[in-house]
Amino acid sequence: MISILHDKLQKTAEALRAARTSLVKEHGETVLSSVTIEQVFGGMRGVPALVCDTSSVSADEGLRIRNIPILELTDATPEEIFWLLVSGERPNAEELAALKDLFAPHYQIPSYVVDTLKAMPKDAHPMAMLSAGLMAMERESAFRKAYDAGAGKDELWKAMFEDSVRLIASMAGLAAAVYRVRFHGGSVIDAPAGEKDMSNAFAHMLGISNDPAWKDLVRLYLVLHSDHEGGNVSAMTSYVVSSALSDAYYSVSAAMCGLAGPLHGLANQECLRFIIDLEKQFGGVPTEEQLREYAWNRLNSGQVIPGYGHAVLRVTDPRFTAFYDFAEKHNINDDNVKLVQMIYNIVPGILKEQGKAKNPWPNVDAASGSLLYAYGMTEFDFYTVMFGVSRAMGLCAQMLVNRMMMSPIVRPKSLTIAEMQSKA
C-alpha cells in the first residue's frame, strides 16, 4: 500500500530506530526512577516504563497530541488527527485528501462481519459485539500474511500501516452495524457512495440524524477520544498484545475489552445512567440539595461518581471542557445537559469533602453521553463503542510507532508476595 503517508513514515521509521539505538547504547544504564512496593500494588501508578510519542497527558493540563493541546485541535477532522498521531505533523490539503482516499473504501465492512453480529445473542453488549466483529475481520490482516510470508522485523511496520488504515476506517462501518443490529432490528445502512470524510460516513451509517450539528458532534467525539498516552488500560493492552507480533485486529479487539470496563471507557455509559437515575428518582432535574444527598448516598454505599476522577489528571479534563463548550455553542436546552452542568458545580466539592479521590474534577466521560443523548442516540449501552471507534486511531498509531521502532515483546518481572516481604 503506497501512499504519501507511507513514504513519510519510511523516514520516520529510520529516525525512530536511530533514536532508540542511540538512547540504549549511550544511556542504557541511566536510571529513570525507582519503583516502590506501593506502586507495585497500586496499579503501577506513576512508574515510567513505557515509551509513547503520539500523545502525552500531564496532571495540570491534560492531553496534548504531539505536543499540541487538545483544545487547539477541536476543529480538526479524525483523519487529520491520525496523520498527526503517526507522523508528528499536521497534514496539508493534498496529504489529507490522499489519506481520505485510503480510508474511504473500507467504511463499508464485509457482509460476513454483519452476519457475525447478527448471530450474536440479542442482549449481547455492544462492546462485546465490537470486539467480536474485529475478531471476525482478523482474516483480513496484511500483517499476519506478511509475517507468514517471512517478512523481516524491519518491514513489518508496513503491514501494520496497511492493517491500521483498514481497521480504523472499518471501525466506522463496524460500529454503525453494531448499532443497527443491536438496536434497530438489523437494518444496516450502507456507507454513502462517494463520501470520503470519516465522520460524515459514520454519522450517515448510524442513521440517527442529518442535523449538521450532530455530524459535527460525531467529528468532535472522534477527535477528543483518539489517544491518551500509553499507560491507560486500552493503550497498554494493545501494546502488550501487539508486542507478541499479534496483528492489529487481535490487539485492538483486546483493547476494546479493556475499554469496556466501567473504570475506563464504560464510564460514559455509567455517567448517563447516573443522570437518568437521578431524573427518575426526583421526577426531573433535582434541586441542588437533592443532588448533594444522592451523590453522598452513592459514595457512602461504596460506589464511584462516574465521570469524575482520573489516574493522571488533577484538573478538569480539557476534553470535558470541549464538550461543555460544544453544548453552550449549540445552545442545547436539554435536562441531561443541564444536569451535567449542575453536577459539575456540586460534585467536585463533595469529592473534596469526602477526601478520597485525588482528582475531584470531571473527565471526558462526564459530558459526552449527555450530548449523544440530546441528538437522539438514547441507547447508552452504545456509548463506549463511539469511544472505541475514536480510540482505535491512537491504538493503531502507537502500535505503528512500536513496529517502526522494532520494539521487543513486553515481559516485565513479577514478584511473589514472599519476595516482596523479604525486600521490606
Chain residues binding ligand CMX by CB under 6 A are 232, 263-265, 267, 299, 304-311, 356-359, 363, 365
Minimum Å gap between C-beta 361 and ligand CMX is: 10
- Closest CB to ligand CMX among 180 and 319? 319
**53, 204, 310, 317: the active-site residue:** 310
Minimum Å gap between C-beta 374 and ligand CMX is: 20
Say whether 264 is catalytic.
yes
Minimum Å gap between C-beta 14 and ligand CMX is: 34
Tell me the three state secondary structure of residue 357: coil
Say whether 310 is catalytic.
yes
Say whether 330 is catalytic.
no
d(CA 258, CA 252): 10
Torsion region of 207: left, alpha or beta (phi above 0 gives left; psi -120 to 50 gives alpha): left
**125, 225, 264, 317: the active-site residue:** 264
User: In this structure, are residues 364 and 320 in contact, taking their beta carbons and an 8 Å threshold?
Assistant: yes
User: In this structure, are residues 364 and 265 in contact, taking their beta carbons and an 8 Å threshold?
Assistant: no
- Closest CB to ligand CMX among 256 and 311? 311
Pairing of strands 62-65, 68-69: antiparallel
- Closest CB to ligand CMX among 78 and 309? 309
**53, 227, 247, 365: the active-site residue:** 365
- Closest CB to ligand CMX among 352 and 356? 356
Minimum Å gap between C-beta 56 and ligand CMX is: 16
As given in the structure block, the three cell numbers for residue 316 are 478538569
Determine the residue with CB nearest ligand CMX: 309
- Strands (DSSP E) contained in 53-163 are 55-58, 62-65, 68-69
Residue with cell 455509567: 270
Tell me the three state secondary structure of residue 251: helix
Minimum Å gap between C-beta 308 and ligand CMX is: 4
- Closest CB to ligand CMX among 91 and 258? 258
As given in the structure block, the three cell numbers for residue 134 are 474485529
Question: For residue 266, what are the CA distances in angstroms to 3, 178, 269?
Answer: 36, 16, 5
Q: Which of 62, 326, 85, 99 is nearest to 214 (CA)?
A: 326
| Active site residue ranges | 264, 310, 365
